Amino acid sequence: MLDDIVEQPILRTESLTKQVNTGEAQLTILQDINLQVKAGEAVAIIGASGSGKSTLLGLLAGLDLPTSGKVHLDNIDIFTLDEDSRAALRGKILGFVFQSFQLLPALTALENVMLPLELTAVAHAQSVAQKLLDRVGLKKRLHHYPKQLSGGEQQRVAIARAFATDPKLLLADEPTGNLDSATGIQIIELMFELNREHGTTLVLVTHDEALSQRCSRQIRLVDGKIAR
């Protein structure tokens, strides 16, 4: 019984399907996705543009609703929850890194990292945020706004924000997509370092084969299905 509990995957999908009505026809974006991710794994979701990678990530986070199927996050069937409860669960369990950074322009780097801590009522939010920004090399940029930061610096802020609540699972969507090659390599090194330090499970969407090889496992999507 104890072994079953220990081996319970942190993320599991059952026949996950997403269709949209275009008006003329029903378009299937994802079909019958069954996957499991164990705690501590680093998994890359790869495939060509339009294969359904980002849609899958949105469903895994409960940011989008499936046409059918289930997502179990930390053993919770997330689509049995209402929208507010899913948001609360994301705040406790998930961290996000996006291609477009998704920083709030009216907040400084420090305030952007403090935000998820304040939303989950974490004590000493400013101190935690300062330490993380120091860890990602931005000790001298705490009070700069996103528009005053380079793309690489903005993504460092986004990574610090993602790890701020010490999430069990980090979801990353093309985290180097808007960065030049050299900066992208630095960002990936940083993300994997923090992932190891925090013992986080990582699910990474990328079209970069070299980046995917940094992960312990690759899941390839072809036309909305997992390639066998």
Whether the per-residue pLDDT at 193 is higher than 60: the answer is: yes
- What's the pTM? 0.88
What domain count does the chain have?
1
Q: What is the pLDDT of residue 7?
A: 65
pLDDT tens readout for residues 105-124: 999 999 999 999 988 888 89
Residue with tokens 């925090």: 198
CATH of the domain at 152: 3.40.50.300
Domain around 22: 2-226
- Binned at pLDDT 50, 70 and 90, residue 176 comes out as confident
How high does pLDDT run on average in the chain? 91
What percent of the chain has pLDDT above 90? 72
Q: Are strands 42-46 and 68-73 parallel, antiparallel or unpaired?
A: unpaired
